[in-house]
C-alpha cells in the first residue's frame, strides 16, 4: 500500500482590519419590544405581544411521464397565517365589538399594520395586513391566587401580508 502524504492546512490569519467593523457600518438588529399596532377604525391601545406573522407557499410535486425518477417542485397557493394580538383587559371594548360583528353574521374586514420602531421610536419597518377579521377572542384564566394582569387575545384571519 502506498501512503499518501497528508497536506497540513494552516488556518488563515484574520487581520485586524477584517475584525473591525467600519465606522458607521454597524447594523444592530431591531428590538422586539418596540412596536405599535394600527387597525382601521379602532383606537389602538398598547398590545403586549403580536404573534403569527408568517407567509407560506404550498409546494406542488410534479412528475412528467417521460422522466425516469425526477420530481419537480412548483410553487402552489400562497398562505398567510393568523395574527394573534394580546393586551391587558381594560374598559375598552372595541376589539370585542369587532369580534361580535362576525358572531352576528356581518363580518367587518379591516386593514392594519404592525409598525416596528427603532431605539429613538422612529419607524424602521412596517408590516401591513389586508382584509383581516377576528376569528377568535379570548380572555386569560382568572385565578384568585395570582396578581398578574388579565390578558385579552384577538386572533385575526388575514388575506395578505406586505412588508413596507
CATH of the domain at 42: 2.30.110.20
* pLDDT, mean of residues 51-61: 96
Q: What percent of the chain lies above the pLDDT cut of 70?
A: 84
Identify whether 75 is part of a domain.
yes
Question: Whole-angstrom Cα distance, residue 104 to residue 42?
Answer: 19
Identify whether 137 is part of a domain.
yes
Q: Is the pTM above the cut of 0.85?
A: no
Question: Whole-angstrom Cα distance, residue 50 to residue 148?
Answer: 19
Identify whether 8 is part of a domain.
no
Split into its structural domains, the chain has a count of: 1
Identify whether 11 is part of a domain.
no
Q: Show the domain range for 138.
A: 29-163
Q: How confident is the model at residue 11 (pLDDT cuts 50, 70, 90)?
A: low
Range with lowest mean pLDDT among 23-27, 71-75, 129-133: 23-27
pLDDT score for 18: 54
Amino acid at each position: 500500500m502506498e501512503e499518501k502524504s497528508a497536506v497540513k492546512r494552516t488556518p488563515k490569519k484574520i487581520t485586524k482590519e477584517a475584525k473591525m467593523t467600519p465606522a458607521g457600518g454597524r447594523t444592530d438588529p431591531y428590538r422586539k419590544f418596540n412596536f405599535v399596532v394600527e387597525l382601521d377604525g379602532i383606537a389602538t391601545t398598547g398590545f403586549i405581544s403580536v404573534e403569527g406573522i408568517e407567509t407560506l407557499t404550498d409546494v406542488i410535486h410534479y412528475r412528467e411521464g417521460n422522466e425516469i425518477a425526477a420530481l419537480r417542485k412548483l410553487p402552489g397557493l400562497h398562505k398567510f397565517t393568523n395574527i394573534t394580538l394580546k393586551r391587558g383587559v381594560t374598559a375598552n371594548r372595541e376589539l370585542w365589538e369587532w369580534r361580535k360583528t362576525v358572531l352576528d353574521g356581518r363580518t367587518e374586514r379591516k386593514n392594519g399594520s404592525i409598525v416596528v420602531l427603532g431605539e429613538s421610536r422612529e419607524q424602521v419597518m412596517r408590516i401591513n395586513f389586508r382584509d383581516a377579521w377576528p376569528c377568535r377572542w379570548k380572555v386569560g384564566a382568572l385565578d384568585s391566587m395570582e396578581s398578574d394582569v388579565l390578558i385579552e387575545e384577538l386572533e385575526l384571519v388575514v388575506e395578505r401580508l406586505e412588508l413596507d
